[in-house]
Structure 1
Amino acid sequence: MARSPAPTFRRTAFLFAMAGCLAGEHGARAASTPLVTDILPSGVPLPVPAPSFVRPPEDASTELLGNAWGARDWLDRKGVRINIQDVEELWGLLSGGMHPGPTYDGMTAMALTLDTGRAFGLRDGLLNISALQIRGRSLTGERLGSLNAVSGYDAGRSTRLFELWYGQGFFGNRLDIRAGTIDLDTEFLVSQNASFFLNASFGWPLSTSSNLYSGGPSWPFSAMGVRVKWTPTYPLVLMGAVTDDNPTRGPFYSDISPAQRDPSGTFFSTAGGTLFIAEVQLWLDAAERIAGKDAPALPGTWKIGALYDSGRFPDQRYDSQGGLLASPDSTGTPLYHRGNWLAYAVLDQMIWRAEKGSGKTINVFARATVNDGTRNRFSSEVQAGLTFDELLPGRPDDTIGVAWGTGFYERRAIENAYDATRLGTSLAGPLRPEHHVELTYQAAVTPYLILQPDFQYFWNIGGTSRNPDTGRPIANGIVMGLNMTTTF
């Protein structure tokens, strides 16, 4: 989910990305070095959509410690880069949900990269290692009860290794291969504009986080695997990865959270099934195609992709003996099926620019997923939204965004809910798609400090009409939050 350290970086990234576009006819280069904020799951300002990204030079002013008394320059000459980011969040459930009230969560991340070319002469090689310290409590689990977490940082408390991989570029970095423990949602199934929002569903969506073991290799988990990225010609990027499908080695259903099963992030599991994912990206300048080369550029990235998991997945209605899971006489163990799949499409498109070269823009994103209707609780999902850059007078580095998302239950999960109501084994009532709307404003206080006040509204919380424990109706939820992200 490529990301940048501060809103100021968005315009700089655009200029360098466009430079890459112009150079594309003479040999586009796929970026092999992750951006500083690749380690953050949500609430991050992003470069303008483009599959090829030319990395801007280091700017010490975008980090609180600056040049760290010369240490950064010294390390850079050795090929070493160290980045630290801290996120602090305050959330409050104002009404609705289960238990209105406040919570706090936070995360500190450290990433180290070693450029093997500078270090010992192996060109186009990169070693990457990162770690996370996650703290606080979950507003989603303890107060709201929604399917979609209010924040990407609303995760199990732990101090853990995140990613550990080696990447090697070939043919002028047109071909880029990584091997090690990989977080797929850094690059696959991601919308650049959607990642600006704080709700976790705008990063790694509900249709993967709920339908895969431990949510799949997604923040804060990674899995053993290999990723290949190839740019055969500038407008086109082809990516694929093969990883273990179960980063924490747990069963599909468990009372123990994934973070508790692997609190250190060092299981390096190769058990279970294998996850295959592939994606095609196409860069387009909509303005050039519609109004000619003299029109202000309106870049966009269009993506289609699919994944297949060879593991075993539970039926949503029938138990291991072919009876109803909702029946009082059920074995309680679902019938398991071999294999699972998901297909998706992602659109990131700039739709308006004040004038040629201007940073005043409006961008739209949309993402849709569809998957197997037998072994998944959610059969499809949709998110869409708008971001508005530099539109506030006197605030050239700020961004405003509004987005909506929902996930649709698959047929057998709906029938199981009806079975439970009919047989008296649940008070939750019929399943309904949970919807959420987010309105957010990101303010660049300094180049290294971002404040992001956030408003979210949920209805059909938890996808049910009533609290499954009390049988009482669940009121729509109103959530307010504040995210503070500091880059050191």
Structure 2
Amino acid sequence: MRKLLGPISRHVAGLMVAISPLMAGGAALAASTPLVTDILPSGVPLPSPAPGFVLPAEDSSTELLGEAGGARPWLARHGIRVNIQDVEELWGVAAGGLQPGPTYDGMTAMALMFDTRRGFGWPDGLLNVSALQIRGRSLTGERLGAVNAVSGYDAGRSTRLFELWYDQGFFANRLDIRLGSIDLDTEFLVSQNASFFLNSSFGWPLSTSSNLYSGGPSWPFSALGARVKWVPTYALVLMGAVTNDNPTGGPFYSDVAPTQRDPSGTAFSTRGGTLFIGEAQLSLDLARRFAGKDAPALPGTWKLGGLYDTGRFPDQRYDSRGGLLAEPDSTGQPLYHHDNWMVFMVADQMIWRASSESSKTISLFVRATANDGSRNRFSTEIQGGVTFDGLVPGRTDDTIGIAWGTGFYGSRAIGNARDAARLGTSLAGALKPEQHIEATYQAAVTPYLIIQPDFQYFWHVGGTSFDPQTGRPIGNGVVLGVNVTTTF
């Protein structure tokens, strides 16, 4: 199994139960505590989905402040755990895009968890509240012009509540129910290997971030709802959630950024429709399945799921009168359709391990989505990549990765672009799927400090070859960056 980095190893159960139902002496371990990295959008490698994973002991040496003068042990005795993570990023467009140059973005996140068993003897309950402070400028919007943000932290500036929920386990946590304001992308559509990469599409993909209201209940937003997780048998997990589909309560198209519409994260919107999402997860060990029980474990997780949204969604080609949106005399208001849907699959699979106990591993991931092409700008999306753990001599905690992704436009979005070019109402030209490749290296400098230099290359920046405002060609984008993450 991959040797876990300090910032990850303390609060594993929240995702690990989704990856592999934890078993110890025939009994399921507690499942409700979230990962520290659940308050981050991407860029931190999550634990390998190894069957039989044992939750490691808490270790204050993996945090910069350690025991904080005895405050952490005292709080822990009363069931309270506080985690703080700070992210600093510097990005630059070296060539192509809209204009070259650097930008800075950063984020500080704090999460407070209250364990009801330690607090007052109530078993398997957890209260969680987290907050974000996001700062800096958007390299993607100001200098690159891409549809896939170079980083999950490339978001609107705000100081906001992130999540606020109560989680209760039943039947030794084989059944787990969460109620409150929740973020779906910490548990659904997750690829643990894709989460290592910084480009935002490897977290919450275009198929949801562009096709749902305000991107849906995803970082840095949450929405009122409930999530149920059930472990009917070892290696199988079934999850479902029902939430509001519009976390900021605004219209689908707006000149006001979602973080400006709800700058504090306390809107708790009930406007719009209802979002239903479900996922089935199967954990398996291919090596032991095909090569025998003595072979080095090659764990993997395979997921199938889908979502259904009862809201109203804009047609990508026709206006409210049934005419073309690209017509000069169009109303400018799209025709709206009821309901929306998407299906998806995710596969994470380790394909090589040096030996049974070795942290030297190679893993693959693939994720694909599909949905309706009339009301969604992106109808199909696919991503894939490979990660190499512990292969740098003397750097057993470091990871190298390379990944690729693209999103294909729906038939009506393509038709609208052709209409606009034919009628002369746009300078952007035909839509072309934007493709991006990312190569990155994550160095665990200390148990609490991670430095991650990053390279990204974009083809068909913004989904076209021309700037829609000027008609000038947009060159393929070359982006360099570095992410520094500190756990306090």
In the superposition, the TM-score normalised over structure 2's length comes to 0.96
1:278–1:306 contact (8 Å) kept in structure 2: yes
Root-mean-square deviation (CA), in Å? 1.8
1:30–1:231 contact (8 Å) kept in structure 2: no
Query: For residue 151 of structure 2, what is the aligned residue in structure 1?
Result: 151
What CA distance in whole angstroms lies between the structure 2 residues aligned with 1:207 and 1:21? 28
Q: Return closer, same or farther for 1:87/1:399 CA change in 2, 3 Å cut-off.
A: same
Query: For residue 298 of structure 2, what is the aligned residue in structure 1?
Result: 298
Q: Deviations along 1:258-308, whole A, 9 cap, x unmatched?
A: 000000000011111000000000000010111010000000100000000
1:225–1:242 contact (8 Å) kept in structure 2: yes
Query: How many pairs does the alignment contain?
Result: 481
Cα deviation for residue 23 of structure 1 reads 3.2
Query: For residue 140 of structure 2, what is the aligned residue in structure 1?
Result: 140
What secondary structure sits across from 2:74 in the alignment? helix
What CA distance in whole angstroms lies between the structure 1 residues aligned with 2:24 and 2:338? 43
1:481 aligns with 2:481: yes
- Runs of 5+ consecutive residues of structure 1 not aligned to the other structure: none
Cα deviation for residue 46 of structure 1 reads 1.1
What CA distance in whole angstroms lies between the structure 1 residues aligned with 2:314 and 2:91? 34
What CA distance in whole angstroms lies between the structure 2 residues aligned with 1:269 and 1:21? 34
2:22–2:29 contact (8 Å) kept in structure 1: no
Q: Deviations along 1:364-414, whole A, 9 cap, x unmatched?
A: 000000001110000000000000000000111100000000000010000
Q: Which amino acid aligns with 1:301?
A: T
What CA distance in whole angstroms lies between the structure 2 residues aligned with 1:142 and 1:349? 37
Query: For residue 468 of structure 1, what is the aligned residue in structure 2?
Result: 468
Cα deviation for residue 5 of structure 1 reads 6.0
1:31–1:54 contact (8 Å) kept in structure 2: no
Q: Deviations along 1:37-65, whole A, 9 cap, x unmatched?
A: 11011110210025886532211111000
Q: Deviations along 1:227-261, whole A, 9 cap, x unmatched?
A: 00000101100000000000000100000000000
Query: For residue 73 of structure 2, what is the aligned residue in structure 1?
Result: 73
What CA distance in whole angstroms lies between the structure 2 residues aligned with 1:5 and 1:118? 26
What secondary structure sits across from 1:129 in the alignment? strand
2:7–2:63 contact (8 Å) kept in structure 1: no
1:326-365 correspondence to structure 2 within 5 Å: 326-365=326-365
Query: For residue 223 of structure 2, what is the aligned residue in structure 1?
Result: 223
1:30–1:53 contact (8 Å) kept in structure 2: no
Q: Deviations along 1:209-232, whole A, 9 cap, x unmatched?
A: 000000000000000000000001
Q: Return closer, same or farther for 1:43/1:270 CA change in 2, 3 Å cut-off.
A: same
1:213–1:251 contact (8 Å) kept in structure 2: yes
What CA distance in whole angstroms lies between the structure 2 residues aligned with 1:283 and 1:357? 19
2:8–2:36 contact (8 Å) kept in structure 1: no
Q: Return closer, same or farther for 1:21/1:327 CA change in 2, 3 Å cut-off.
A: closer
2:21–2:237 contact (8 Å) kept in structure 1: no
2:23–2:52 contact (8 Å) kept in structure 1: no
Q: Return closer, same or farther for 1:383/1:427 CA change in 2, 3 Å cut-off.
A: same
Query: For residue 277 of structure 1, what is the aligned residue in structure 2?
Result: 277
What CA distance in whole angstroms lies between the structure 1 residues aligned with 2:122 and 2:233? 25
What CA distance in whole angstroms lies between the structure 2 residues aligned with 1:442 and 1:486? 13
Q: Return closer, same or farther for 1:235/1:395 CA change in 2, 3 Å cut-off.
A: same
1:53-68 correspondence to structure 2 within 5 Å: 54-68=54-68
Query: For residue 382 of structure 1, what is the aligned residue in structure 2?
Result: 382
Query: For residue 163 of structure 1, what is the aligned residue in structure 2?
Result: 163
Query: For residue 425 of structure 1, what is the aligned residue in structure 2?
Result: 425
1:207-222 correspondence to structure 2 within 5 Å: 207-222=207-222
Q: Return closer, same or farther for 1:51/1:281 CA change in 2, 3 Å cut-off.
A: farther
1:8–1:447 contact (8 Å) kept in structure 2: no
In the superposition, the TM-score normalised over structure 1's length comes to 0.96
Q: Return closer, same or farther for 1:251/1:301 CA change in 2, 3 Å cut-off.
A: same
Q: Which amino acid aligns with 1:152?
A: G
2:390–2:399 contact (8 Å) kept in structure 1: yes
Cα deviation for residue 355 of structure 1 reads 0.8
Q: Deviations along 1:343-365, whole A, 9 cap, x unmatched?
A: 00000000000011111000000
What CA distance in whole angstroms lies between the structure 2 residues aligned with 1:118 and 1:450? 31
1:309 aligns with 2:309: yes
What CA distance in whole angstroms lies between the structure 2 residues aligned with 1:402 and 1:6? 23
Query: For residue 455 of structure 2, what is the aligned residue in structure 1?
Result: 455
Q: Deviations along 1:62-98, whole A, 9 cap, x unmatched?
A: 1000111111111000000000000000000001000
- Runs of 5+ consecutive residues of structure 2 not aligned to the other structure: none
2:313–2:339 contact (8 Å) kept in structure 1: yes
Cα deviation for residue 31 of structure 1 reads 1.7
Cα deviation for residue 7 of structure 1 reads 7.2
What CA distance in whole angstroms lies between the structure 2 residues aligned with 1:478 and 1:460? 12
Q: Which amino acid aligns with 1:201?
A: S
Cα deviation for residue 473 of structure 1 reads 1.1
What CA distance in whole angstroms lies between the structure 2 residues aligned with 1:162 and 1:328? 42
What secondary structure sits across from 2:161 in the alignment? strand
After TM superposition, which residue ranges in structure 1, 4 or more long, deviate above 6 angstroms? none
1:250 aligns with 2:225: no
Query: For residue 203 of structure 1, what is the aligned residue in structure 2?
Result: 203
Q: Which amino acid aligns with 2:344?
A: Y
What CA distance in whole angstroms lies between the structure 2 residues aligned with 1:200 and 1:186? 13
What CA distance in whole angstroms lies between the structure 1 residues aligned with 2:461 and 2:27? 50
Q: Deviations along 1:12-32, whole A, 9 cap, x unmatched?
A: 99xx99xx8783682334621
What CA distance in whole angstroms lies between the structure 1 residues aligned with 2:231 and 2:194? 24
1:93 aligns with 2:93: yes
Give identity over the alignment, percent: 76
1:116 aligns with 2:110: no
Q: Return closer, same or farther for 1:269/1:50 CA change in 2, 3 Å cut-off.
A: farther
What CA distance in whole angstroms lies between the structure 1 residues aligned with 2:187 and 2:480? 29
What secondary structure sits across from 2:69 in the alignment? coil
Query: For residue 396 of structure 2, what is the aligned residue in structure 1?
Result: 396
Cα deviation for residue 6 of structure 1 reads 3.4
Q: Return closer, same or farther for 1:32/1:8 CA change in 2, 3 Å cut-off.
A: closer
1:238 aligns with 2:226: no
What CA distance in whole angstroms lies between the structure 2 residues aligned with 1:236 and 1:9? 23
1:5–1:36 contact (8 Å) kept in structure 2: no
Q: Return closer, same or farther for 1:8/1:313 CA change in 2, 3 Å cut-off.
A: closer
What CA distance in whole angstroms lies between the structure 1 residues aligned with 2:101 and 2:356? 47
What CA distance in whole angstroms lies between the structure 1 residues aligned with 2:126 and 2:8? 26
What CA distance in whole angstroms lies between the structure 1 residues aligned with 2:371 and 2:456? 27
What CA distance in whole angstroms lies between the structure 1 residues aligned with 2:54 and 2:473? 52
Query: For residue 370 of structure 1, what is the aligned residue in structure 2?
Result: 370
What CA distance in whole angstroms lies between the structure 2 residues aligned with 1:21 and 1:197? 25
Q: Which amino acid aligns with 1:425?
A: T
